[in-house]
Amino acid sequence: MPARSDRVTSALQANRPTQETTQPLNPNQAVVPQPGRRRKLHMTAPATQRTQRNKGLGKRKVLVIVPIVVLVLVFLAIAIYFIKQLIDSKYFFCTSSLRFIPIEKACDGKKDCPGGEDETTCASNLTVTSTFPVRLVTNLSVLQVYSNVSGWRSVCSDRWTQQHTQTACGLLGYTYKPLGASVPVSSLAGALKHGPFAAVKPGTATAPTDQATADSTACGSGSVVSLSCSDCGQVHLQDRIVGGKDAYIEDWPWQVSLQDDGQHTCGGSLVAPNWVVSAAHCFSGVRKELKSWRVVSGQTYMASLGGSYVDKIIVNGQYDPVLSDYDIAMLRLSSPITVGDSRRPVCLPPKALGLSAGDTLTVTGWGYLRENGQVSPSLQMAQINFIDRDTCSSPQVYGSTITPRMICAGVMAGGVDACQGDSGGPLVYDSSSKWNLVGVVSWGDGCARKGQPGVYTNVDEMLNWIYTVMQKNP
């Protein structure tokens, strides 16, 4: 008989599984993996959950990190902007030597930068002694040309073409869909009926208007040329200047704010997409460095950010800061504004528009709401009256201080007037459904005082200078 040990061995061999199984022999006993043995684990569902959980964590991290990065960048941008503003308000950067000089040394007449750039980007003066050769006269906007021999002559409509209209309007600044019309000589006022006249020479449609004409004793057609050069001065009027009321920029779209280092300093008037008329006294003292100025347009409420850069400030060379005579300046914008409902030039008036005492004028601005007060956060407008020269220059008002370059407007009883902060802003008159710039806020004795109306630069007397500035600086 085989020994017991052999039977046990045979029995065990007889009961040995023929295939290896992965099932534990004792389901209740944990299986400890052995080193070096691989186990094929079917864990698909739990792995997907872990991946989704990781993705969720990643998304949450992104959602947290991105806003933080954006906030940091915004903070840095704001900090850089205000640091630059602070530096620019205190120092001028000399690009040639890469150093700073005190802002007071810029535009002081001395070259403090080695390259002299501190004296090249400054307000300049221009005195005009010549006569601009083209103008419009009276409320009919009759075209006249000038020659040293014959003086001013009204242009006959004989042989006048649309190209002549385009050329003449181009000389007068802002041009948009210019129109020419004929006005009977018999309808002209006073001496204009009797000439002198000028007639267009054949083949001169593109020549400068004054060179395209020759003297004529009469107009064969019996009519002269009247021009409407643009859509200037057109608004859809809706109805603080002291005693004024709230206004909307769409009603006075030529009104702009001149800002020195972000601070409203003066008003101004768009007279072309890239030209602003203001007052010379706004640029007295240290306010002559171009980069510190911005022109903010199209805003009812005062804003200090943005605005147009300025590449020229030209002050009338005859400006007298003591007498406030010739108180006018012009600013050329680095880029023209886009004309629209809230930004549109005002019309430069025809010569001898013919204002009469009592005519209603409008003044606008963000200036003080009362004498020694503070600027208004929103645009204000006030209707005032034109005051004739005899009254304004009487001893009881301003006497001999009123020159031909000044006009007066206000309410003699007081209560309504321009004030500090309105300087350089527009005084306008509605003629034939177009608003004309007849005055520039200049000076006055206090604000809205009885018997002390506002004094404005007389634009009629400054037209020759204005047109010459624009022609010399296209």
pLDDT tens digits, one per residue of 363-373: 999 998 888 78
Co-location of 411 and 267 in the same domain: yes
Write out the H or E segment, with its range, that includes residue 168.
helix 162-171
- Residue 210 bears catalytic tag: no
Co-location of 185 and 271 in the same domain: no
CB atoms within 10 A of CB 126: 16
Amino acid at 186: S
Co-location of 149 and 266 in the same domain: no
Q: Does 61 map to a domain?
A: no
Co-location of 260 and 199 in the same domain: no
pLDDT in tens, 195-222: 899 999 998 988 999 999 999 999 999 9
Largest CA distance in the chain: 162
Last residue of a domain, one of 91, 120, 149: 120
Q: Does 340 map to a domain?
A: yes
Domain with residue 110: its CATH number is 4.10.400
Co-location of 315 and 372 in the same domain: yes
Tell me how far apart the alpha carbons of residues 107 and 177 are, in angstroms, rounded to a whole number: 41
From start to end of 9-119, where are the E strands? Answer: 91-94, 99-102
- Residue 327 bears catalytic tag: yes
Co-location of 252 and 312 in the same domain: yes
Last residue of a domain, one of 228, 258, 287: 228
CB atoms within 10 A of CB 452: 18
Q: Which of the following is catalytic: 327, 359, 422, 460?
A: 327
Collapse the DSSP code of 270 into the 3-class scheme (helix H, G, I; strand E, B; otherwise coil) and give the result: strand
In this prediction, residue 172 carries a pLDDT of 95
What is the extent of the structural domain holding 152? Answer: 134-228
Nearest CA to 206 out of 154, 157, 171, 158 is that of 171
Q: Does 43 map to a domain?
A: no
Q: Does 103 map to a domain?
A: yes
Residue 452, both tokens: 């002390």
Q: What is the DSSP string of 214-267?
A: EEESS-TTSEEEEEE-SSTT--------BT-EE--GGGSTTEEEEEETTEEEEE
Co-location of 138 and 81 in the same domain: no
Q: Does the bond joining 196 to the residue before it have cis omega, within 30 degrees of 0?
A: yes
Last residue of a domain, one of 179, 203, 228: 228
Co-location of 84 and 150 in the same domain: no
pLDDT in tens, 376-392: 999 999 999 999 999 99
Tell me how far apart the alpha carbons of residues 168 and 163 are, in angstroms, rounded to a whole number: 9
Co-location of 395 and 292 in the same domain: yes
Q: Check pLDDT > 50 for residue 7.
A: no
Residue 13: what are its φ and ψ, rounded to 5°?
-65, -35
Co-location of 370 and 466 in the same domain: yes
Co-location of 177 and 108 in the same domain: no
Q: Which of the following is catalytic: 228, 281, 324, 359?
A: 281
pLDDT band at 103 (very low <50, low <70, confident <90, very high): confident
Q: Check pLDDT > 70 for residue 30.
A: no
Q: Which of the following is catalytic: 292, 423, 431, 442?
A: 423
Residue 15: what are its φ and ψ, rounded to 5°?
-95, 5
Domain with residue 304: its CATH number is 2.40.10.10
For the chain, give the percent of residues with pLDDT over 70.
83
CB 135 within 8 A of CB 151: no
Q: Does 2 map to a domain?
A: no
In this prediction, residue 48 carries a pLDDT of 55
Q: Does 27 map to a domain?
A: no
Domain with residue 158: its CATH number is 3.10.250
Q: Does 51 map to a domain?
A: no
Distances from the Cα of 156 to the Cα of 49, 59, 172, 208, 217, angstroms: 92, 79, 18, 16, 10
In this prediction, residue 304 carries a pLDDT of 76
Co-location of 92 and 146 in the same domain: no
Q: Does 238 map to a domain?
A: no
- Residue 281 bears catalytic tag: yes
- Minimum mean pLDDT range among 46-60, 104-118, 120-134: 46-60
Q: How many separate domains does the chain show?
A: 3
